[in-house]
Amino acid sequence: MVESNNQGRRKGRGTSRGSRIERLPPGTPNPVDIHVGSRVRLRRTLLGLSQEKLGEAVGLTFQQIQKYERGANRIGASRLFEFSRILDVPVSFFFDDMPDLMSSEEAQSAWGLSDQPHSSLDPDPLTRRETLELVRAYYRIGDPQVRKRLFELAKSLGNAEQG
């Protein structure tokens, strides 16, 4: 049974603890789905796979992969298992580094319904294409000494910006 409250939001069935949680408004991606999708994108990009290639591997279009990666479409359990096999990671990888804010249904609901933006929504710099391309290029440097010097250079430049 679904009932409305006086603010026009819909309440869903209670949790196992008997409390009620509010549903996300229609068209609002669930924060967990966004996180899982970003982890799919992270792993796909680290492996150098295009959305099209990943889609071919699972029998989907690149547009469907885009929707999964944005969190617009929820990834079902069997599809997540398939992604874990193709991307060579355990299923738990997709839930790693999930902000504590998303660890309970109440927190997810409150987080998703808030009118204020949350800093947790800021894109993780590790998932940015520029970062991933830099890491891939770094590991293509064959000479460990050159790699170490580049690493030290990047650290010193980063520290100079902060000081």
CATH of 3-117, one of 3.90.330.10, 3.40.50.300, 1.25.40.10, 1.10.260.40: 1.10.260.40
Model pLDDT, residue 129? 74
Q: Which residue has the tokens 């068209």?
A: 27
Instruction: List, in sequence order, every residue forming a beta bridge with 110; answer none if it has no partner.
Output: none
Q: Is 3 in a helix, a strand, or coil?
A: strand
- What residue segments make up the domains of the chain, in order of their start? 3-117, 128-163
Mean pLDDT of 119-136: 68
Lowest mean pLDDT segment, chosen from 14-28, 89-103, 105-119: 105-119
Q: Is the pLDDT of residue 137 over 80?
A: yes
Q: H or E segment at 40?
A: helix 31-46
Mean pLDDT of 1-21: 46
Mean pLDDT of 30-47: 90
Mean pLDDT of 100-110: 53
pTM of the model: 0.58
User: Mean of the per-residue pLDDT values for the chain?
Assistant: 77
Lowest mean pLDDT segment, chosen from 55-59, 93-97, 118-122, 139-143: 118-122
Model pLDDT, residue 83? 96
pLDDT tens per residue across span 67-85? 999 999 999 999 999 999 9
Long-range contacts of 39-43, Cβ-Cβ distance < 8 Å, separation of 24 or more: 39/93, 39/94, 39/95, 39/96, 39/97, 40/65, 40/68, 40/69, 40/75, 40/83, 40/87, 40/94, 41/69, 41/127, 42/126, 42/127, 42/132, 43/87, 43/89, 43/93
